[in-house]
């Protein structure tokens, strides 16, 4: 598993010791520890940390209150942890999926832009989204009559229903149809067309369960035919890290792949603190995205219920589509098209390669 839980001494203690050795302070630091400092030091040494490997030579550590759930389903390694800084956090295949204190940034950015740009969204299909947050945001729109959420992993859905109280209302809604199945298979057999299709999938990792759902063939042969045509159907997907140093992992490739399938493609980004990076999303349609910030704000007031949006506004949504020069240039120059035989992955691996948790 790329992400792992460690005791303080096993991870950070080693780093501190290395730092003291490098600076020549090790013996002096040991002899100058006071009686007042000792209890605090002992408490810190008992602290557990969740460690996520970002790259071969880069890791992030999150201090923990507790580990609420840890195990492995047929498809993925799963953990639900309670962090000191970000609250409860869902971890899949060693990757932070969302955290309690800032998940609204990710899910508002994923769901509301396509629903606001669509003239009258009534039906939504969510691929993945097992924690229920994407469905929760979609159900806030007055016009939405039916949300189909299709996740492959029953175990993820079950423990998110148990532990993530913010989404219990969404799971209980009579407008939500929950399916446990492969999203591709479900879309292929469905006779229904949808106003908005959402890719709330885990990051594409090698041997993971969903990287095939980022490919040109999937977008062209499965997603696009299931979008309602005359009503301006919109597809949106989370597209992985989009920072200056990370956007070439998958973000630029997903963007370029969708450009091969749809007439209009819009990339946008936001900083998500618990991810320690800028994150990216891509919308695609055969109808232009031509609303102004004022028009977006009007639609938010008219359509969105259950309080105001915490993150998005018309101005911030328009601003999020303006990418920094480095990322913008990379997207323009990207030539890679995502296929089953030529896929890109974020760092890490899926359950097929990783073994038990």
Catalytic residue ranges: 200
Strand pairing class (146-151; 176-180)? parallel
Q: How far apart are CA 280 and CA 193, in angstroms?
A: 26
Q: How many CA atoms lie within 13 A of 193 on its CB side?
A: 12
Q: Which residues of 291-322 are buried (b: 16+ CB within 10 A; e: fewer)?
A: beeeebbebbeebbeeeebebbebebbeebee
Strand pairing class (77-83; 87-92)? antiparallel
Supply 347's token pair: 């760092």
- Three-class SS state of 55: strand
- 129: buried, middle or exposed (CB in 10 Å: 19+, 13-18, 0-12)? buried
Strand pairing class (87-92; 95-99)? antiparallel
H helices then E strands: how many in the chain? 14, 13
- Three-class SS state of 26: helix
**Look-up: residue for tokens 């229903």?**
161
């Amino acid at each position: 598993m790329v992400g792992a839980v460690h005791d303080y001494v096993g991870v950070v203690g080693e780093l501190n010791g290395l730092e003291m050795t490098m600076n020549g302070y090790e013996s002096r630091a040991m002899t100058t520890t006071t009686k007042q400092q000792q209890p605090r030091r002992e408490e810190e040494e008992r602290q557990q940390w969740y460690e996520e490997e970002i790259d071969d030579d880069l890791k992030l550590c999150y201090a923990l209150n507790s580990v609420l759930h840890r195990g492995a389903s047929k498809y993925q390694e799963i953990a639900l942890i309670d962090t000191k800084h970000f609250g409860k956090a869902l971890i899949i295949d060693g990757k932070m999926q969302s955290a309690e204190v800032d998940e609204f940034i990710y899910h508002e950015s994923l769901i509301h832009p396509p629903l606001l740009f669509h003239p009258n969204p009534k039906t939504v299909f969510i691929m993945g989204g097992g924690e229920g947050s994407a469905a929760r945001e979609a159900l806030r729109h007055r016009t939405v009559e039916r949300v189909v959420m299709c996740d492959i992993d029953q175990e993820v859905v079950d423990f998110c229903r148990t532990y993530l109280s913010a989404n219990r209302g969404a799971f209980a809604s009579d407008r939500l149809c929950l399916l446990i199945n492969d999203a591709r298979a479900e879309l292929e057999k469905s006779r229904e067309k949808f106003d908005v299709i959402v890719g709330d999938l885990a990051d594409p990792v090698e041997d993971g369960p969903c990287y095939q759902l980022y490919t040109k063939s999937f977008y062209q042969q499965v997603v696009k035919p299931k979008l309602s045509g005359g009503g301006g159907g919109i597809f949106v997907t989370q597209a992985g890290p989009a920072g200056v140093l990370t956007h070439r992992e998958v973000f630029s490739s997903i963007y370029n792949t969708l450009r091969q399938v749809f007439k209009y493609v819009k990339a946008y980004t936001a900083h998500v603190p618990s991810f320690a990076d800028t994150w990216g999303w891509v919308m695609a349609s055969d109808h232009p995205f031509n609303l102004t910030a004022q028009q977006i704000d009007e639609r938010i007031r008219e359509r969105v219920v259950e309080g105001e949006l915490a993150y998005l506004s018309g101005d911030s949504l328009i601003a999020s589509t303006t990418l920094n020069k480095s990322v913008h240039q990379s997207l323009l120059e990207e030539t890679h098209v995502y296929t089953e035989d030529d896929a890109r992955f974020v760092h890490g691996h899926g359950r097929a390669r990783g073994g038990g948790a």
